[in-house]
């Protein structure tokens, strides 16, 4: 499914008109229409504003698989929101720890 359809589905799921989503995301109604029609792709900044306005993740809007149960945990959400304040070295450290935990989980699954 394309990003255009995911934006539209998320908007409709929340009962927003294109104008309401535009207002909440500080974008123009024309931009929302173009995104949903697939005539234009949102910039990363616009994608972030759309995700916030829709209560969705940018990963979801881009079609990346996300464990929604995990991501809906308030502690996890707060942790990821806080990552934007970290410097690059700290972000890389957290990502490397996460990768190690994933490897450990996969090796347990293979036993």
Sequence ranges of the chain with CATH classification 1.10.260.40: 3-66
pTM above 0.85, yes or no: no
Comparison of pLDDT for 73 and 96, the residue scoring more = 96
The CATH number that domain 3-66 falls under is 1.10.260.40
Contact 6, 61 (CB under 8 A): yes
The b-or-e profile of 68-99 (16+ CB within 10 A means b, else e) is eeeeeeeeeeeeeeeeeeeeeeeeeeeeeeee
pLDDT digits (tens, 9 = 90+) for 6-37: 999 999 999 999 999 999 999 999 999 999 99
């Amino acid at each position: 499914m394309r990003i255009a359809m995911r934006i539209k589905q998320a908007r409709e799921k929340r009962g927003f008109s294109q104008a309401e989503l535009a207002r909440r995301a500080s974008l123009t109604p024309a931009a929302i229409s173009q995104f949903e029609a697939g005539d234009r792709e949102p910039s990363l900044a616009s994608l972030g504003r759309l995700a916030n306005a829709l209560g969705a993740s940018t990963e979801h809007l881009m079609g990346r698989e996300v464990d929604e149960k995990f991501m809906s945990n308030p502690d996890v959400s707060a942790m990821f929101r806080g990552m934007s304040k970290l410097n690059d070295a700290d972000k890389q450290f957290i990502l490397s720890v996460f990768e190690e935990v994933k490897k450990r989980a996969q090796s347990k699954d293979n036993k």
